[in-house]
């Protein structure tokens, strides 16, 4: 019982963890949108019957986005650990979590943009 009290999180630790979480969400969502929105637009423009129909681009991007969307985050995190270390120099902490979050979020935003643009008449 007393061990629980000794290991309880303090207010300062909570605020630091909240700050780190908000940074990870904001940065990954921002960069995910910067990557996902153009990908979604390219999917709409290059689809068969699109403005610039390019089946090669569409057939390359569409399965890639589907595969990335279907991967559980923990598996994606483990698979891109070397890429994360190469890019930011670490695989732990806030900086180490942002790269996998961006790779995880961008395909969802791309598919959301694609489906939204296809609904426009």
Whether residue 28 lies inside any domain: the answer is yes
Whether residue 76 lies inside any domain: the answer is yes
Tokens of 4: 């629980």
Angle between helices 11-46 and 55-70 (to 10 degrees): 150
Whether residue 36 lies inside any domain: the answer is yes
Structural domains of the chain, count: 1
Hunting for tokens 């995190």 — which residue is that? 77
Q: For residue 2, is pLDDT > 60?
A: no
- pLDDT-derived band at 10 (thresholds 50, 70, 90) equals confident
Whether residue 5 lies inside any domain: the answer is no
As a dihedral over the C-alpha atoms of residue 46, residue 101, residue 25, residue 29, rounded to 10 degrees, the angle is: -10
Q: For residue 31, give Cα distances in angstroms to 11, 38, 91, 114.
A: 30, 11, 18, 18
Whether residue 105 lies inside any domain: the answer is yes
Stretch 13-20: mean pLDDT, rounded?
89
Q: For residue 1, is pLDDT > 70?
A: no
**Model pTM score:** 0.84
b/e per residue 70-79 (b: at least 16 CB within 10 A): eeeeeeebee
Whether residue 106 lies inside any domain: the answer is yes
Q: What is the CATH number of the domain that holds 27?
A: 1.10.3720.10
Residue ranges making up the domain that contains 21: 10-118
The answer to whether the Cα torsion of 89, 94, 100, 101 is positive or negative is negative
**81-105 pLDDT, tens digit each:** 999 999 999 999 999 999 999 999 9
Whether residue 2 lies inside any domain: the answer is no
């Amino acid at each position: 019982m007393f061990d629980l009290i000794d290991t309880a999180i303090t207010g300062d630790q909570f605020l630091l963890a909240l700050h780190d979480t908000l940074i990870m969400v904001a940065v990954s969502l921002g960069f995910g949108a910067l990557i996902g929105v153009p990908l979604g637009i390219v999917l709409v423009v290059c689809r068969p019957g699109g403005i610039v129909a390019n089946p090669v681009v569409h057939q390359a991007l569409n399965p890639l986005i589907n595969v990335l969307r279907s991967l559980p985050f923990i598996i994606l995190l483990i698979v891109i650990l070397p890429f994360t270390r190469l890019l930011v120099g670490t695989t732990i902490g806030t900086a180490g979590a942002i790269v996998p979050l961006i790779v995880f979020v961008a395909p969802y935003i791309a598919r959301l943009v694609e489906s939204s643009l296809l609904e426009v008449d």
